[in-house]
């Protein structure tokens, strides 16, 4: 135990002597600390939010970036990134806490979340997507089709037959429907047939 304490003290001395940028100082209000602790300990919190909350909590207690990196188990650059991001948002956090304290948790989670990624450009126009969704809202029977409910694969075939798109997968059709919260039969199910 004594050796372990000596090693810890030696590492702390080395960190204090190491040149480099000074870690961003983080000062938390009682409410912020409570929210960050809830996120860190929450059983339903996402892992990245738990880690980033721990970074901020340790930073507010004066821990160095290297010490936080070892404690949390992530690289030092990530610690610096999230510590800096949180510190630079301190004005927004303070304003939210004073004006709308109920929104504080969502602001903290937004600050500790990754920026949305752009992804690949859309293959379908907004007009095509709207036509697919509009067709999904129609009852197949009213269009003279021999089934009573759409499945993504049946909708896919009809969308191609009508010339709305040249090609599309049933999975992609399902994503459009899911995105608009429409209820469609699961692709593994067959739509009911009038012939049965």
Would you tell me how many other CB atoms lie within 10 Å of the CB of residue 47?
7
Residue with tokens 């001395």: 13
Residue 187's pLDDT band (boundaries 50, 70, 90)?
Answer: very low
Would you tell me how many other CB atoms lie within 10 Å of the CB of residue 80?
18
Q: What share of the chain is helix, strand, coil (3-state, %, to 5)?
A: 60, 0, 40
The alpha carbon of residue 36 and the mean position of all alpha carbons in its chain are separated, in whole angstroms, by 17
pTM: 0.54
Mind listing the pLDDT tens digit for each residue in 45-71? 899 999 999 999 999 999 999 999 999
Handedness of CA 142, 144, 146, 152 (dihedral sign): negative
Fill in the DSSP letter of residue 181: T
Mind listing the pLDDT tens digit for each residue in 97-152? 999 999 999 999 999 998 877 777 778 888 999 999 999 999 999 999 999 999 99
Mean pLDDT taken over the chain: 83
Q: Where are the domains positioned within the chain?
A: 21-111, 126-179
Nearest Cα to 64, choosing from 99, 98, 25, 28? 25
């Amino acid at each position: 135990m004594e050796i372990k304490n000596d090693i810890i003290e030696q590492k702390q001395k080395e960190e204090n002597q190491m040149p480099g940028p000074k870690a961003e100082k983080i000062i938390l209000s009682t409410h912020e600390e409570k929210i960050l602790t809830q996120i860190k300990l929450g059983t339903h919190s996402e892992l990245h939010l738990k880690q980033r909350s721990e970074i901020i909590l340790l930073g507010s207690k004066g821990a160095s970036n290297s010490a936080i990196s070892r404690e949390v188990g992530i690289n030092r650059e990530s610690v610096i990134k999230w510590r800096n991001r949180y510190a630079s948002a301190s004005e927004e956090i303070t304003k939210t806490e004073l004006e709308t304290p109920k929104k504080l948790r969502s602001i903290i989670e937004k600050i500790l979340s990754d920026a949305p990624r752009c992804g690949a450009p859309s293959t379908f126009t907004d007009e095509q997507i709207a036509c697919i969704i509009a067709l999904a809202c129609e009852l197949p029977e009213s269009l003279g089709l021999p089934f009573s409910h759409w499945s993504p694969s049946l909708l896919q075939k009809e969308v191609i037959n009508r010339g709305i798109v040249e090609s599309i997968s049933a999975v992609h059709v399902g994503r459009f429907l899911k995105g608009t919260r429409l209820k469609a039969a699961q692709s593994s199910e067959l739509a009911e047939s009038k012939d049965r």
